[in-house]
């Protein structure tokens, strides 16, 4: 869109999230190859504080790889990623060389970035509440008592307040995913990344997870969401990013992307998945 549309959009986003502000996530010319296969071909992505960016596109276009590079679960080859003012995965030495961060520094960066996966990966031998409190206690962000209190609050927020002493195997997939979201929130991350959070769920369980994500959006949580779920892109996104073959092909408001002015390629994709 042109400057007028961008201005209008920014106003719209500010209306919904009065605290939308500085750039929280910045990916610049990010490249990534697996062997000969270049799966990210110079991707640029900006996410401002309080914004929800939804990444859509055909299978194999690099969406999952992109979101995994943002917290260095996948190291990128070229370009740079900055989250909350920190260069992810590397530090630059006095001679301008890029040196990989050590494990402790990397863990520190990751603790500020919440991640929710397609498969919930809860710890099977821990209760729901213990799953949520483990990381903040282990990293000394909170005492056990503080983490218990905050964990209960988060479980209520995801509609799981009644289930805090259950174990993962006693829960449905949708309930497990909501616990996984609470677990990611427990570290008080500045941004939440979601990698296809509903694609492992039975269709009737998808809505309860979408509702939780929409609630977080309303509360002003900054999020990057890879999904095939067009409801998220239409109803929750401030910006939609369309990827194809390792590139961002189109980006804009849901109104733009799904509207009559959206590009043909995106319209064909949307018709195909809806
Ligand atoms: P999407 O999320 O859009 O479906 P992905 O990021 O999962 O796309 O995959 C992009 C490309 O990268 C695909 O060709 C896939 O086969 C390849 N790929 C992803 N992860 C790996 C990996 N760990 N090793 C090798 N190739 C991979």
Q: Is 227 in the pocket of ligand 1 (CB under 6 A)?
A: no
Q: What is the pLDDT of residue 140?
A: 93
Q: What is the pLDDT of residue 101?
A: 92
Residue whose CA is at the smallest distance from ligand 1 atom 24: 34
Distance between CA atoms of residues 14 and 156, nearest Å: 27
Q: What is the pLDDT of residue 91?
A: 87
DSSP class of residue 72?
T
Q: What is the pLDDT of residue 128?
A: 98
Q: Is 55 in the pocket of ligand 1 (CB under 6 A)?
A: no
Q: What is the pLDDT of residue 96?
A: 83
Q: What is the pLDDT of residue 17?
A: 55
Measured from the CA of 58, which atom of ligand 1 is nearest? 3
Q: What is the pLDDT of residue 13?
A: 58
Which value, to the nearest 10 degrees, does the dihedral of the CA atoms of residues 221, 227, 233, 238 take?
30
Q: What is the pLDDT of residue 11?
A: 60
Q: Which of 31, 54, 64, 243 to mutate to test the pocket of ligand 1 (most atoms within 8 A of CB)?
A: 64
Cα three-residue angle 243-32-252, rounded to 5 degrees: 25
Distance between CA atoms of residues 175 and 162, nearest Å: 11
Q: What is the pLDDT of residue 1?
A: 47
Cα 33 to middle of ligand 1, angstroms: 9
Q: Which of 32, 37, 59, 119 to mutate to test the pocket of ligand 1 (most atoms within 8 A of CB)?
A: 37
Which parts of the chain sit beneath pLDDT 50? 1, 18
Q: Are 160 and 175 in contact (CB under 8 A)?
A: yes
Q: Are 15 and 54 in contact (CB under 8 A)?
A: no
Measured from the CA of 65, which atom of ligand 1 is nearest? 6
The closest of 126, 120, 134 to 167, measured between CA atoms, is 126
The residue behind tokens 């969401």 is: 225
The closest of 206, 146, 218 to 175, measured between CA atoms, is 206
Residue whose CA is at the smallest distance from ligand 1 atom 1: 60
Cα 65 to middle of ligand 1, angstroms: 6
Q: Is 64 in the pocket of ligand 1 (CB under 6 A)?
A: yes
Residue whose CA is at the smallest distance from ligand 1 atom 21: 34
Q: Which of 30, 62, 73, 273 to mutate to test the pocket of ligand 1 (most atoms within 8 A of CB)?
A: 62
CA distances (Å), origin 165, targets 129, 136, 151, 171: 6, 18, 12, 11
Residue whose CA is at the smallest distance from ligand 1 atom 19: 65
Residue whose CA is at the smallest distance from ligand 1 atom 18: 34
């Amino acid at each position: 869109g042109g400057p007028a549309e961008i201005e209008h959009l920014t106003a719209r986003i500010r209306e919904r999230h009065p605290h939308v502000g500085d750039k929280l996530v910045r990916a610049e010319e990010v490249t990534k190859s697996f062997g000969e296969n270049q799966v990210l071909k110079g991707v640029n992505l900006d996410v401002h504080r309080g914004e929800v960016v939804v990444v859509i596109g055909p299978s194999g276009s690099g969406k999952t790889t992109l979101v995994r590079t943002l917290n260095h679960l996948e190291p990128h080859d070229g370009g740079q990623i900055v989250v909350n003012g920190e260069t992810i995965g590397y530090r630059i030495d006095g001679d301008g060389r890029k040196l990989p961060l050590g494990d402790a520094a990397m863990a520190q960066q990751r603790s500020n970035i919440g991640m929710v996966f397609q498969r919930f990966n809860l710890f099977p031998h821990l209760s729901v509440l213990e799953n949520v409190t483990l990381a903040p206690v282990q990293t000394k962000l909170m005492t056990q008592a503080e983490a218990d209190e905050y964990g209960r609050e988060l479980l209520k927020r995801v509609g799981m307040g009644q289930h805090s002493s259950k174990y993962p195997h006693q829960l449905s997939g949708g309930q497990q995913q909501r616990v996984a979201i609470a677990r990611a929130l427990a570290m008080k991350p500045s941004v939440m990344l979601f990698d296809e959070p509903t694609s492992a769920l039975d269709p009737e369980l998808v809505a309860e997870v979408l509702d939780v994500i929409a609630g977080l959006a309303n509360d002003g949580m900054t999020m990057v969401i890879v999904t095939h779920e067009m409801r998220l892109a239409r109803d929750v996104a401030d910006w939609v990013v369309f990827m194809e073959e390792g590139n961002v092909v189109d980006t804009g408001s849901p109104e733009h992307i799904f509207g009559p002015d959206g590009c043909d390629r995106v319209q064909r994709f949307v018709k195909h998945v809806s």
